[in-house]
């Protein structure tokens, strides 16, 4: 479980395809504090740490395996050496819930439509897959590339978000550009409300 509050920016330093695809990701986490088998959200996708250590220059890294299904259903298939992504380690009991409840299960891949300065912030417009349109609401929460964000407005499959300078600085969003594919996770509450309506439970209650 995560909150969508990014705690580091990782960088792919190695990609190797065997049965699955193995990524080695450089980071600023203390590798001694990362247990093998731990979960780390990488651009919003919950991945399992299978190795960790430091390189010859002392920089920390961890390795994860991504299945063909993960590559197909997320933007991880686009990752190559040099790709930077938002990282968040799993919640511990007692941690502050600063964003919203995030599972690390990507629901679909959207796209950056446009970016434009707006005051000191940057206005992003995204396009969601058709299947996710009903789950996006004005002033609702959404997770994009692992970042908990608030939706400003919605028009059909497109929706806008403002990112403040701090967010642009401490996440990978500062380098985002139109055409980039982004991992999307809808608000878990929206998912369950939709399911209740679909099954008629909400009407019955």
60-95 per-residue burial string, b: 16 or more CB within 10 A, e: under 16: bbbbbbbeeebbebbbbeebeeebbbbbbbebeeee
3-state SS, residue 88: strand
CA distance 15 to 19: 13
41-45, 168-172, 184-188, range with the lowest pLDDT: 184-188
Among 5-9, 72-76, 145-149, 197-201, the minimum mean pLDDT is found in: 197-201
On average, the pLDDT of the chain sits at: 92
Question: Which one, of 68, 74, 61, lies nearest residue 146 by Cα?
Answer: 74
> Per-residue pLDDT averaged across 75-79, rounded?
96
Helices (H) and strands (E) in the chain, counts: 4, 13
pLDDT of residue 18: 84
Tokens of 45: 């996708």
Tokens 């919605």, residue located: 154
pLDDT of 101 reads 82
Q: How many residues does the chain have?
A: 205
Rounded Cα gap, residues 184 and 156, in angstroms: 16
Q: How far apart are the first and last CA of the chain?
A: 29
Q: Is 202 helix (H, G, I), strand (E, B) or coil?
A: helix
Q: Which residues contact 6 (CB under 8 A, 6 or more apart)?
A: 86, 87, 88, 146, 147, 170, 171
Q: What does the alpha-carbon distance between residue 78 and residue 195 come to, in Å, rounded to a whole number?
A: 32
Separation of alpha carbons 108 and 111, rounded Å: 10
Q: Indicate the DSSP class of residue 82.
A: T
Average pLDDT for 139-148: 95
- DSSP single-letter state for residue 29: S
If one compares 187 and 131, the residue with the highest pLDDT of the two is 131
Predicted confidence (pLDDT) at residue 201 exceeds the cutoff of 80: no
Q: Is residue 80 pLDDT above 70, yes or no?
A: yes
Domains of the chain: 8-89 (2.40.30.20), 108-196 (2.40.30.20)
- The predicted-structure confidence for 98-129, as pLDDT tens digits, reads as follows 667 889 999 999 999 999 999 999 999 999 99
pLDDT reported for residue 198 = 66
């Amino acid at each position: 479980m995560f909150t969508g509050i990014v705690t580091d920016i990782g960088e792919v330093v190695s990609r190797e395809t065997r049965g699955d695809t193995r990524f080695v990701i450089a980071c600023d986490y203390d590798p001694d504090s990362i247990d093998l088998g731990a979960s780390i959200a990488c651009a919003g996708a919950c991945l399992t740490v299978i190795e960790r250590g430091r390189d010859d220059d002392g920089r920390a890294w961890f390795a994860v395996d991504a299945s063909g299904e993960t590559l197909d259903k997320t933007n991880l298939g686009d990752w190559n050496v040099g790709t930077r992504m938002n990282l968040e380690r799993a919640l511990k009991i007692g941690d502050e819930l600063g964003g919203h409840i995030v599972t690390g299960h990507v629901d679909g891949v959207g796209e950056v439509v446009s970016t434009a300065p707006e005051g000191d912030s940057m206005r992003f417009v995204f396009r969601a897959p058709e299947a996710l349109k009903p789950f996006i609401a004005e002033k609702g929460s959404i997770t994009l590339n692992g970042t908990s964000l608030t939706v400003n407005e919605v028009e059909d499959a497109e929706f806008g978000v403002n990112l403040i300078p701090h967010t642009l600085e401490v996440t990978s969003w500062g380098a985002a550009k139109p055409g980039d594919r982004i991992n999307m996770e809808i608000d878990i509450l929206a998912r369950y409300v939709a399911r209740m309506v679909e099954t008629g439970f909400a009407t019955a209650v």
